[in-house]
Structure 1
Amino acid sequence: MAMEDIALECERYLAPKGFGGVQVSPPNENVAIHNPSRPWWERYQPVSYKLCTRSGNEDEFRNMVTRCNNVGVRIYVDAVINHMCGNAVSAGTSSTCGSYFNPGSRDFPAVPYSGWDFNDGKCKTSSGDIENYNDATQVRDCRLTGLLDLALEKDYVRSKIAEYMNNLIDIGVAGFRLDASKHMWPGDIKAVLDKLHNLNSNWFPQGSKPFIFQEVIDLGGEPIKSSEYFGNGRVTEFKYGAKLGTVIRKWNGEKMSYLKNWGEGWGFVPSDRALVFVDNHDNQRGHGAGGASILTFWDARLYKMAVGFMLAHPYGFTRVMSSYRWPRNFQNGKDVNDWVGPPNNNGVIKEVTINPDTTCGNDWVCEHRWRQIRNMVAFHNVVDGQPFTNWYDNGSNQVAFGRGNKGFIVFNNDDCFLQLCKLVFLLAHTVMSFLEIKLMAIAQALKSTFLMMAKLNFLLVTLLKIHLLQFMLNLNYKI
Structure 2
Amino acid sequence: MTHLPRTSARALTVLALLAATVAACSPHADPGAAPATDGSGHDVGVELFQWTWDAVAAECTDELGPAGYAWVLTSPPQEHVRGEQWWTAYQPVSYRVESRLGTREQYTAMVATCHGAGVEVWADAVVNHMTGTSTSTDVPGTGWAGSAYEHYAYPGLYDDADFHHCGLTPDDDIHDYDDAAQVQTCELVNLADLATDTPHVRDTVTAYLTDLLSLGVDGFRIDAAKHLPPADVAAIVAGLPDGTGIVQEVIRGSGEPVTPEQYTANGKVFEFAWGRDVEAVLAGSPDLALDLGSGAGYLPSDDAVVFVDNHDTERNGSTLSYRDGATYVLANVLMLAGTYGTPTVYSGYAFDDTDLGPAQDADGRVLDVTCGDAPGPDADLADDDWVCQHRWAAIAGMVGWRAVVGDAPVVDRWSQSDAVALGRGERGLVVVNAGDDELVTTLTTSLPDGRYCDVLASGCAEVTVHDGTVDVRVPPHTAQAWDVAARP
Q: TM-score, normalised by structure 1?
A: 0.82
The CA distance in 1 between the partners of 2:134 and 2:107, in whole Å, is 30
Classify 1:414/1:438 alpha carbon distance in 2 versus 1 (closer, same or farther; 3 Å).
closer
- Which segment is superposed worse, 402-411 or 354-363? 354-363
Structure-1 residue corresponding to 2:69? 19
The CA distance in 1 between the partners of 2:309 and 2:55, in whole Å, is 22
Amino acid at match of 2:62: R
Q: Which whole-Å deviations, capped at 9, do the CAs of 1:207-248 have from their partners, x for residues lacking one?
A: x51110100011321111111101001111111111001222
Give the CA deviation at 1:302: 0.6
2:69 paired with 1:47:
no
Give runs of aligned pairs for residues 298-337 of structure 1, distance below 5 A: 298-326=323-351, 328=352, 337=353
Contact 2:405 2:428 in 1 (8 A): yes
Give runs of aligned pairs for residues 355-374 of structure 1, distance below 5 A: 355-357=372-374, 363-374=385-396
SS at match of 1:376: helix
Classify 1:22/1:343 alpha carbon distance in 2 versus 1 (closer, same or farther; 3 Å).
same
2:285 paired with 1:226:
no
Contact 1:440 1:461 in 2 (8 A): no
Give the CA deviation at 1:375: 0.4
Structure-1 residue corresponding to 2:358? 342
Contact 2:430 2:482 in 1 (8 A): no
Amino acid at match of 1:221: G
RMSD between superposed Cα atoms in Å: 2.9
Which one of the candidate residues 279, 293, 301 is aligned to 1:263?
Answer: 293
Contact 1:217 1:238 in 2 (8 A): yes
Structure-1 residue corresponding to 2:370? 353
- In structure 1, stretches of 5+ residues that fail to align are 199-207, 329-336, 443-450
Give the CA deviation at 1:440: 8.4
Amino acid at match of 1:28: Q
The CA distance in 2 between the partners of 1:464 and 1:143, in whole Å, is 50
Which one of the candidate residues 302, 306, 309 is aligned to 1:276?
Answer: 306
Give the CA deviation at 1:469: 4.7
The CA distance in 1 between the partners of 2:361 and 2:406, in whole Å, is 42
Give the CA deviation at 1:303: 0.5
Which one of the candidate residues 135, 152, 161 is aligned to 2:205?
Answer: 161
Give runs of aligned pairs for residues 9-408 of structure 1, distance below 5 A: 9-33=59-83, 38-88=84-134, 91-103=139-151, 106-109=152-155, 111-120=156-165, 122-196=166-240, 198=241, 208-248=242-282, 250=283, 254-265=284-295, 267-286=297-316, 291=318, 294-326=319-351, 328=352, 337-346=353-362, 347-357=364-374, 363-394=385-416, 396-408=417-429
Contact 1:409 1:453 in 2 (8 A): no
Contact 2:438 2:475 in 1 (8 A): no
Contact 1:7 1:67 in 2 (8 A): yes
Q: Which whole-Å deviations, capped at 9, do the CAs of 1:339-390 have from their partners, x for residues lacking one?
A: 0001223333222235333779971111011111110111111122111222
SS at match of 1:145: coil
Classify 1:153/1:363 alpha carbon distance in 2 versus 1 (closer, same or farther; 3 Å).
same
Q: Which whole-Å deviations, capped at 9, do the CAs of 1:159-180 have from their partners, x for residues lacking one?
A: 0000000001111111000011
Give the CA deviation at 1:472: 7.8
Q: TM-score, normalised by structure 2?
A: 0.80
Classify 1:340/1:439 alpha carbon distance in 2 versus 1 (closer, same or farther; 3 Å).
closer
Amino acid at match of 2:434: N
- In structure 2, stretches of 5+ residues that fail to align are 1-50, 455-460
Classify 1:141/1:410 alpha carbon distance in 2 versus 1 (closer, same or farther; 3 Å).
same
The CA distance in 2 between the partners of 1:247 and 1:178, in whole Å, is 29
Give the CA deviation at 1:265: 2.3
The CA distance in 2 between the partners of 1:419 and 1:357, in whole Å, is 28
Equivalenced residue count is 423
- Which segment is superposed worse, 233-242 or 87-96? 87-96
SS at match of 1:259: helix
Classify 1:156/1:478 alpha carbon distance in 2 versus 1 (closer, same or farther; 3 Å).
farther
The CA distance in 1 between the partners of 2:463 and 2:109, in whole Å, is 38
SS at match of 1:257: helix
The CA distance in 2 between the partners of 1:348 and 1:190, in whole Å, is 35
The CA distance in 2 between the partners of 1:453 and 1:222, in whole Å, is 49
The CA distance in 2 between the partners of 1:19 and 1:438, in whole Å, is 28
Classify 1:377/1:157 alpha carbon distance in 2 versus 1 (closer, same or farther; 3 Å).
same
Classify 1:387/1:454 alpha carbon distance in 2 versus 1 (closer, same or farther; 3 Å).
farther
SS at match of 2:356: coil
Contact 2:433 2:478 in 1 (8 A): no
Percentage of matched positions with identical amino acids: 35
Give the CA deviation at 1:73: 0.8
Contact 1:151 1:157 in 2 (8 A): yes
Amino acid at match of 1:125: T
The CA distance in 1 between the partners of 2:226 and 2:483, in whole Å, is 47
The CA distance in 1 between the partners of 2:199 and 2:396, in whole Å, is 44
Classify 1:454/1:85 alpha carbon distance in 2 versus 1 (closer, same or farther; 3 Å).
farther
Give the CA deviation at 1:460: 8.5
Give the CA deviation at 1:87: 4.0
Amino acid at match of 1:214: Q
Structure-2 residue corresponding to 1:445? none
2:53 paired with 1:3:
yes
The CA distance in 1 between the partners of 2:198 and 2:398, in whole Å, is 45
The CA distance in 1 between the partners of 2:296 and 2:427, in whole Å, is 26
Contact 2:347 2:388 in 1 (8 A): yes
Q: Which whole-Å deviations, capped at 9, do the CAs of 1:448-473 have from their partners, x for residues lacking one?
A: xxx99999xx9997635476454689
